[in-house]
Chain A
Amino acid sequence: MALPAYASPLERVWYYSFRTICGLIFFFLIAPIVIIIPLSFNAVPFFTFTPEMLSLDPAGYSLKWYEDFFTNLNWQGAVRNSVIIAFFATILSTALGTVAALGLSRPDMPFKTTIMALLISPMIVPLIISAAGMYFFYTSIGLASTHLGVILAHTALGTPFVVITVTATLVGFDNSLVRAGLMCGATPQRVFFKVIMPLILPGVISGALFAFVTSFDEVVVVLLVGSFEQRTIPWQMFSGIREQISPTILAVATLLVSVSICLLISVEWLRRRGERLRGITAT
């Protein structure tokens, strides 16, 4: 909506002030994420800009917090745990969620709304409630403070995202393709892998990314169900902020921002590819 040539002065003022307001809101959204990047190269153990940093003196900057992150055993253990837990939770929730979404999208699925509500519920129920319930139950069956317990919990939290994204891709799915495949003599397995899978793949992958992020970013369940042995990166950050603030947290945060940029790019790319494949052009 470019400003038309016949706009009155009042409209002109409003047009520019509206843009300025929007600019400020975008600044509010992005500034907190950008600001930690220079702070993580701080030479002193505070969360603040030192005079040396502001005068761009190289002595004000250092890589020691990154060095600490890559050498500190606590952080290395946290990275390992995060990757292991997120990996298995993603695989499990993607497999379970995709199969369930295929069932839900069939026209003759009984009790569809009720089942959908149940499957989505881990996303709606606040984490603290899920975590408390899991803590009570997992303690009683010996799953608390085990990697398996945290993986199962994260799988449960990740499945709604997979169900939602895969169901969304299946909305425009043409079932005659399946029938055509079967008529041409393919086995149902072959039809699944050669016909259905390539078409729903963008949904499956973006669901898997959501599940991965959910697990990778989750801390409440790890705090309650897990223990120090299951510490993940967010767990380490959470206890780090509570106990002793060290800019290593900012270094980790900067690294995590780069991870999220990669995730954002892949999800956006998948979304556009999916839209293109289904014939919905973005432009």
Chain B
Amino acid sequence: MASVTAAPEVMVTADGTPLKVSLHRALRRNKIRAFLLVLPLLAFLGFTFLWPIGVMMFRSVENSLVSTVMYRTVPLLAQWDETTGDLPDEAVFEALVQDVTEGFKNRTIGKVGTRLNYEEPGMSSIFRTSPKKFKKITEGPYKEKVIEAHKGWGDVDKWRLIKREGRPFTSSYYLAAIDRKLDNLGSITSQPAERQIYVKLFIRTLWMSALITGLCLLLGFPISFLLATLPTKTSNLLMILVLLPFWTSLLVRTTSWIAILQQHGVINDILVAIGLVSDDARLGMIHNQIGTVVAMTHILLPFMVLPLYSVMKTIPPSYMRAARSLGANPALAFWRVYMPQTVPGIGAGGILVFIIAIGYYITPALVGGTKGTLISNFIDYHMRVSLNWGLAAALGIILLGLILFLYIIYDRVVGIDNMKLG
């Protein structure tokens, strides 16, 4: 056999290159051509979308503020042994006075105070009052004068905190996002009870998303079944009732729920008019969890109906008839024969609705009040109001991780290639 493969007659193309090489080249050329078509969009998304997400990931651990502003103090503190319980030495206090005075001139020291205040309440006020008093300190001994200016500087824990946050990267935003913090000696402990909000918020977000998904399934299943079994003409007509909400602006739908659910809204007016509820006991159905759940169920219902419908459409009605003629009663035939075949649709719609619900922002912000808000509302709050961007980024990345996990499940169950629209 070896003599056959070693035969000198290698197949060649017209220009003399071996066929194999030529084919390989052609295939590679095709690959490159296909890739070049995708490249513009990939580059565009890389710049406008993927890179920003990367920037946000960096933001969630980045911590250069303290070390940049207090560039004299931080390197000196690195040599200080915080475990002994002694205060840092004289040189550190001298550096502190210089850093704070310079930071005050550049208007950066206040930011350091705010940053450290996230870790320990009270730091901000130390950094606010110190600069004016430090002005009088022109010569040594610095240590006593500094502590005299604000007794907070005599607290070893404050120095431990500055030393820890002087490092270029921090895990404290992530810890804060799961209601933990580093204690003075750097081990992880729980936040004080009144600051424990995020774990509850994540649980509330997951719970409300699950509830909304369940309601969508409950309402979506019957109408998908009806749409799939009706004659095409009728079902196309009824489909408009599903597609019109789908195409209507989110804000329009949220606005109309406000009009319906509010204290002097349609439902309350009707209830009062027919005497079920007295005028001064109107139901509070908005700015709480009920408002969020009802409005979001309405908004996300089409996302459940469309995949369910497309799966149910493919189930031949003869299966049910076969089950019936073999003696099953309608309920059993439905449960044992029809239901199992709709599982892919339930999975697709369920995960889709859950993924959308978990990151929802607009509707909870408008009808959720304080009890019905979700995690994304807090991300927005830290982005635009409290300006704690590190925490906003950390919360965002945790949420993103959660969604990517669900997305992978979705991919396993449905496959992203099978995603259909409209």
Contacts and interface: CB of A to CB of B under 8 A. Distances in A.
Nearest to A117: B416
B80 to A, nearest CB: 33
Contacts of B45: 118-119, 121-122, 156, 159
Interface stretch (A56-64, A65-73, A129-137, A178-186): A129-137
B252 A33 contact: yes
A156 B49 contact: yes
B379 A271 contact: no
B328 interface: no
A243 to B, nearest CB: 12
Interface string A97-137: 10110111010111000011111111011111110111111
Contact of B399 (A32, A97, A103, A129): A129
B31 A133 contact: no
Contacts of A128: 359, 361, 376, 379-380, 396
B335 interface: no
B52 A133 contact: yes
Contact of B258 (A28, A120, A241): A241
A252 B355 CA distance: 29
B391 to A, nearest CB: 11
B253 interface: yes
B384 interface: yes
A11 B330 contact: yes
Contact of B407 (A47, A124, A129): A124
Contacts of A136: 52, 55-56, 59, 389, 393
Interface in A16-59: 18-19, 21-22, 25-26, 28-33, 35-36, 39, 46-49
Given A35-B259, A156-B44, A220-B362, A130 B247 contact: no
B400 interface: yes
A18 B222 contact: yes
A267 interface: yes
Contacts of B53: 125, 129-130, 133
Nearest to A31: B260
B419 interface: yes
A1 interface: yes
Interface in B139-169: none
A223 B381 CA distance: 12
Interface in B371-422: 376, 379-380, 383-384, 389, 392-393, 396, 399-400, 403-404, 407, 411, 416-417, 419-422
Contact of B49 (A47, A134, A210, A249): A134
A127 B56 CA distance: 14
B30 A106 contact: yes
Contacts of A102: 37
Q: Is the interface of A mostly helix, strand, loop or mixed?
A: helix
Given A33-B256, A110-B34, A130-B52, A25 B222 contact: yes
A134 B31 contact: no
Given A26-B223, A29-B245, A219-B362, A132 B355 contact: no
Interface string B39-79: 11110110011111111100100000000000000000000
A115 B247 contact: no
Interface of B: 27, 30-31, 33-42, 44-45, 48-56, 59, 219, 222-223, 226, 229-230, 232, 236, 238, 240-245, 247-260, 262, 264-266, 269, 298, 301-302, 317, 330, 355, 358-362, 366, 376, 379-380, 383-384, 389, 392-393, 396, 399-400, 403-404, 407, 411, 416-417, 419-422
Given A132-B396, A245-B258, A253-B255, 12 more contacts: A1-B230, A26-B241, A33-B248, A33-B252, A103-B37, A109-B35, A117-B416, A119-B38, A120-B416, A128-B376, A257-B248, A282-B232
Interface of A: 1, 11, 14, 18-19, 21-22, 25-26, 28-33, 35-36, 39, 46-49, 96-97, 99-100, 102-104, 106, 108-110, 115-122, 124-130, 132-138, 140, 152-153, 155-156, 159, 161, 163-165, 167-168, 206, 210, 213, 216-217, 219-220, 223-224, 234, 237-238, 241-242, 245, 249-250, 253, 256-257, 260-261, 263-264, 267-268, 271, 282-283
Which 6 A-B pairs have CB atoms at the shortest separation, nearest pair first?
Answer: A126-B359, A103-B37, A133-B52, A100-B41, A137-B52, A133-B56
25 contacts: A29-B301, A33-B256, A47-B262, A48-B259, A96-B41, A103-B37, A104-B34, A109-B31, A125-B403, A126-B359, A126-B360, A126-B400, A128-B376, A129-B359, A130-B53, A132-B393, A133-B396, A136-B55, A138-B52, A152-B48, A206-B421, A219-B251, A253-B252, A256-B252, A264-B247
